[in-house]
Structure 1
């Protein structure tokens, strides 16, 4: 079950986790993100939402400059060369409860 921005921020405060909040429009690539948060320091990351032939889903996070070879990753997970592919966009909403029309937030 997803949480709202307000619920997330309240939980961070409840856990006494120090953070700074920066709001920006939806970004779909690392390059777009650099325009908004690239000057803040730290490592930029990218997230890949993948699925296998058995309809199992995976989230892979890597530093932005890391080349992720899906074929190699698939083999290392024991799924064969073509075992992983990008998950369909509809799965973002259905499984991750992420809507691309919402604003994104960078919390550090």
Structure 2
């Protein structure tokens, strides 16, 4: 069973990770969250739950305005062939979140370590980063260092990638 938002917060607290959360109406895309920009301090993200030709799963967490060319991204992440978006069923099964709530915090639910997490260096450069806390009715801020510490604690050693020059935009939440 997937962790609840309260369980995630307790897990973060247990790791000594300081969080700040704001509540808001549900948002499903970066475009829908534009009205929240003034309320959110730090790097804003978009998250793409992807699979390669061999069925390997990846989460790309990028700066919300980063351009991502899915035709070339596999080269940066060491995937087999081009990426496609993983199904909503796979997202629920492995990452424990609904479409529109994709977040690196879903790593708490991937106990088998099926997902490779890639973090955009440009997003991390903000120092403070923001994500849905397993549901898209809130946004939780943590330090970039604490995000990496959380991912490592869940068994997900993140790939830090420079997305400069990886092309056209992809819309996600």
Shorter chain as denominator, the TM-score bin is 0.7 to 0.9
Q: 1:26 to 1:92 in 2, by over 3 A?
A: farther
1:79 alignment partner in structure 2: 80
Q: CA deviation at 1:51?
A: 0.6
Runs (4+) of structure 1 exceeding 3 A deviation are 100-104
Q: Provide Cα deviations, 1:55-103, integer angstroms capped at 9, x if missing partner.
A: 11110111011110011112342534xx211111221111111134854
Which structure 1 residue ranges, 5 or more long, are not aligned? none
Across the aligned residues of Structure 1 and Structure 2, the Cα RMSD in angstroms comes to 2.1
Give the number of the structure whose alpha-carbon radius of gyration is greater: 1
TM-score by length of 1: 0.80
SS at match of 1:70: coil
Which structure 2 residue ranges, 5 or more long, are not aligned? 101-134, 142-173
Q: CA deviation at 1:22?
A: 1.2
